[in-house]
Structure 1
Amino acid sequence: MSSRPSPSPARWFKVLHRTRLGEPCLKTYPLECVALLRRARVAFQAGRSLKENFRLAQLEAVVQMLEEHECDFVEALGRDLHKPRFETVVSELMLVKNEALHAISNLKKWMQPQHVERNLFTTLDECLVVSEPLGVVLIVGTWCSPVQMCLVPLVGAIAAGTNELPEVVELKFDHVFFTGSREEGSRIAQAAARTLTPVTLILGGKNPCYVDQHCDIATTAQRVAWARFHNAGQSLVAPDYILCHADVKARLVQALKCCLMQFYGTDPKESRSFGRMVNLEIFNRTRDVLWRSGKVAVGGQVIEAEKYIAPTILTEVAESDSIMQQDVFGPVLPVLAVNDVDEAITFINKQEKPLCVYAYSTNTKVISRLMSETSSGSFCSNDSVLQSLMVALPFGGVGASGMGSCHGRYSFDTFSHRKSCLLRSTRFECVTYLRYPPYEDRNLSLMTWASTLSQKSQGWCQIL
């Protein structure tokens, strides 16, 4: 294994390094983008990415890059998002590293052809499914978790044997993997449809969180507060609003207040554990919906010069309020009251299908109902966000929250074409001749009889 050529981690980082202020963006130069795409296609057509050793070397380079450039990533996200080092390492770098190591451990198994069960008429044939690389793919990550959202799908693309290029939406690729807002995702899907390019879309949305009257309020508050205010609320998978049983609403709001005090102190803007809005556009949008929705129970302070919005809990929120009508990437959590789980399920099902649904309850029947009677990209009970981080679980949306998935084997499959292969011999022509013209009723009767021999009713085409 040590003899494999390994790409330079420094080269990896140079490609991934964010554009500094004042530097021209790559997409300013269409001809250069076309040249990069052409080079990638030439490299792919040369067949280098078909080899297991090449893919392993690329994956190991990703791991090495994350280790050698940890400080650079921490510094960059600190500048952009005021993101604490702890959050960057745990939710961005560690996650991607685990994804790459998982792919390294399982690559040989993933690349092996999968044999399909034989039947009476394919006893001497070989039926298998081969995963072949799709080709050159485009990966576009979202700004709120740039390392995770770009490199997790990239790991799957490398494992599947594809190439990744900078953001060049207007060019023809073999697959486009996009993470971001519904509006941008819709535009990318429309552009991709014009060239029949397959897409994977992981889109934002309003992720509901039901809090039952039968739950541990203190633990629930801690887990919800961590998920909502992590990265200053700039997350695709955080709980977007709480549907709280009316009997425990006051206790939950008080517990959330205590959590914010515990997490960020009396003045969160001085806390080293709390971030900032990425830019003024996101700041202004969040501030505007905050001011036009509900009643502030805690927080609500804003400082435009610092792009700071305090962690905020809203009560007395109406379904028609601004914050319930659009995606919110900020540290604002509305709390709405419902009378029972039926009302919560009805409320959730009136909205577009979300990326995530969360439910907190010690009653397993309540959890089961929320999981089975609502539709979402993912579901998690008595915690939040974690289901989107696990390499063994597929992560993706459904309906308005997207299509396709990533993580582990699911990323490998996303960037692979599963090619059906039937390897036949020329034997048994004494049987297969029945399919040839001129068509005779006797031949049809024999084929119909033969099809009934299959215990699994796999169809008359078996003898063809």
Structure 2
Amino acid sequence: MNIQELVQRQRRYFATGATRPLAFRRRRLRALREALLAARPEIEQALKADLNKSSYETFLTELAMVVGEIDDALRHLEKWAAPRRRGTPLSHFPAVSRVYPEPYGVVLVLSPWNYPLQLALAPVVGAIAAGNCVLVKASRHSAHTTALLHRLLSRVFSPEYVACVDETIPYGDVLAQRYDMIFFTGSPRVGRQVMAAAAAHLTPVVLELGGKSPCFVDAECDLAVAARRIAWGKLLNAGQTCVAPDYVLVDSRVKDRFIELLMRQAEKMFPHPLHDPDYPRIVSRRHYDRLCGLLDRATGVRGGARDAESLHIALAVVEADFDSEVMREEIFGPILPVIAYDRLDDAVQAVQKREKPLACYVFTRRAGYARAVLERVNFGGGCVNDVVMHLANHNLPFGGVGNSGMGSYHGKDGFDTFSHHKSVLHNRTHPDIPLRYAPYNEKNLPLLQRVLLGR
């Protein structure tokens, strides 16, 4: 089935109203949940083949995240979908005002390779909960998981409701169709292409992009915990995480100690990273060569052992400054630039001059330090005294700002993202107050002013 026919089939199915009843949405979400848990061995095998992810990391960062989204939607769907009453001015008496969440229609989800299950299906959950039909275009770079998504979605859904686009169909052909919403996760470069294609049909878009997410480390923090959590966040999926700490800004008084603790924690987590069955690999030779090139041209590198055959790279810490090559673009790998600062204000100003990041992290015991960063740095979301974990809270909207994206999802925010919020004023035919009707009587103007302006 070609892409144009598939879109039209979904559009016709949506027009029947079959996806709108809440009972139907719940049944399909439960079916997806059951299928995911039943397919857990297949999921683990696919992610092992694509990224060498361990079963533990697969459950933690992929399967549990999607199942958690489903459970959250099942618990709260009735409340999310209920009409929401809004205030009505006295001048509109006796009317009442309500907002009705309604599905957009046919939604396109464009998912990446780095978390190929989670980042494909978490938005699908929100789209289904909101009552939409969904097409998923998954990445060819995670071929085993993409094939699994085809099998999984075809088991659970009919193609006119939810379907995975054949990976042989070019990206341009997929984007050339008219959708009612497009949800994209990937790089800012491709995000611009998606937005340009959507503009042809005035299609709303959500762009979940990336950026260089800073991590501020105060001299007065628990340095051991900071090093441990930053090492974990950076080595998760071998650094191929959109919200990974991209670089660290550390007080110069504790820089050397921090680097020592960081390297120690990395070695403790993965003593033999080039041969560890639980340590993920770089997704492709092209990305591996790009990362190796950054390391080869850098100075002040600690760690960074590599294996060209298995595509593994151990954590590499690079003592850098803002002019270093590793600071020019998002790294997306296990390379961590560390920049020392003498004054927090200088570090904050340097970050402010750069593109707005997807995430920001702060390690400190001082409320004033955290406030100085949070109030002055514009970013999508983040943590104080932790990294990455804000992503796993279904009650927090996840999304970027500026160059790191637009729109958000997860939990209720995902439902709202995939819903159009239709405003309706319900009035009665009586009383029919004549003040608004022509012919206008200037004698009524003082009364009209009191009603509309309160004076």
- TM-score, normalised with respect to structure 1: 0.88
Question: Could you say which residue in structure 1 is the equivalent of 2:386?
Answer: 383
Equivalent residue for 2:49, pick from 65, 79, 86 = 79
Contact 1:294 1:321 in 2 (8 A): no
Contact 2:233 2:244 in 1 (8 A): yes
State the distance in 2 between where 1:404 and 1:230 align: 25
Contact 2:91 2:451 in 1 (8 A): no
Question: Could you say which residue in structure 2 is the equivalent of 1:281?
Answer: 286
| Structure 1 runs not aligned, ≥5 long | 1-30, 455-464
State the distance in 2 between where 1:285 and 1:163 align: 38
Question: Could you say which residue in structure 2 is the equivalent of 1:295?
Answer: 300
Contact 1:394 1:410 in 2 (8 A): yes
Q: Deviations over 1:374-418 (max 9, x none)?
A: 100012110000111210000000011000000000000001000
Question: Could you say which residue in structure 2 is the equivalent of 1:107?
Answer: 77
Question: Could you say which residue in structure 2 is the equivalent of 1:459?
Answer: none
Pair 1:232 & 2:238 matched = yes
Shift of 1:33: 0.8
Q: Percent identity?
A: 37
Question: Could you say which residue in structure 1 is the equivalent of 2:367?
Answer: 364
Question: Could you say which residue in structure 2 is the equivalent of 1:208?
Answer: 214
State the distance in 2 between where 1:225 and 1:61 align: 37
Q: How does 1:68-147 map to 2 (within 5 A)?
A: 68-147=38-117
Shift of 1:368: 1.1
Pair 1:197 & 2:203 matched = yes
Shift of 1:202: 0.8
Question: Could you say which residue in structure 1 is the equivalent of 2:435?
Answer: 434
State the distance in 2 between where 1:318 and 1:73 align: 41
| Structure 2 runs not aligned, ≥5 long | 138-173
Q: Deviations over 1:226-260 (max 9, x none)?
A: 00011111010000000010000000000011111
Pair 1:166 & 2:136 matched = yes
Is 442-451 or 92-101 further displaced after alignment? 442-451
Instruction: Count residues in correspondence.
Output: 419
Contact 2:111 2:136 in 1 (8 A): no
Equivalent residue for 2:266, pick from 260, 264, 267 = 260
State the distance in 1 between where 2:446 and 2:16 align: 51
Equivalent residue for 1:221, pick from 218, 227, 237 = 227
Alignment-mate amino acid for residue 335 of structure 1: V
State the distance in 1 between where 2:440 and 2:429 align: 21
Question: Could you say which residue in structure 2 is the equivalent of 1:23?
Answer: none
RMSD over aligned CA atoms reads: 1.3
Is 241-250 or 159-168 further displaced after alignment? 159-168
Shift of 1:123: 4.4
Q: The residue matched to 1:418 in structure 2 has which SS? A: strand
Alignment-mate amino acid for residue 126 of structure 1: V
Alignment-mate amino acid for residue 425 of structure 1: R
Q: The residue matched to 1:395 in structure 2 has which SS? A: coil
Q: Deviations over 1:338-382 (max 9, x none)?
A: 112212211110110000010101111101111111100012110
State the distance in 1 between where 2:218 and 2:19 align: 50
Shift of 1:428: 2.4
Q: The residue matched to 2:108 in structure 1 has which SS? A: strand
State the distance in 1 between where 2:275 and 2:351 align: 36
State the distance in 1 between where 2:245 and 2:364 align: 15
Alignment-mate amino acid for residue 92 of structure 1: E
State the distance in 1 between where 2:454 and 2:284 align: 68
Pair 1:311 & 2:315 matched = yes
Equivalent residue for 2:15, pick from 35, 45, 49 = 45
Contact 1:397 1:404 in 2 (8 A): yes
- TM-score, normalised with respect to structure 2: 0.90
Pair 1:416 & 2:419 matched = yes
